[in-house]
Amino acid sequence: MSDEKVITPFELGVCVAMQLVGKAIAMNPHLDIEELKRDAAAVMGTMPSEPKWVGGPGVHQAAIENLLVGIGKVKR
């Protein structure tokens, strides 16, 4: 049996919501995006890499990764 997990509809919804939150955060001109990215990488580095979703990221990192995806969609 594999440790890989299948993402549920709720979890998918949370990931999409995090992308929208990331876009909203990135629209703040007073925010240092690079510092936020460094902080996010530091936090994700402390989280376990397993379990993972099938074909996707680690379950623990997914919310932050999707937040960063949303931030990346905003041109500054």
Q: Calculate mean pLDDT across residues 55-75.
A: 90
Residue 37 has pLDDT above 50, yes or no: yes
Average pLDDT across the chain, whole number: 90
Residues contacting residue 7 through CB under 8 Å, at least 6 positions apart: 15, 53, 54, 56
Phi and psi angles of residue 52, each rounded to the nearest 5 degrees, phi first: -120, 155
Residue 48 has pLDDT above 60, yes or no: yes
pLDDT for position 2: 57
pLDDT tier, 3 (very low <50, low <70, confident <90, very high otherwise): low
Torsion of CA 49, 54, 60, 61, to 10 degrees: 80
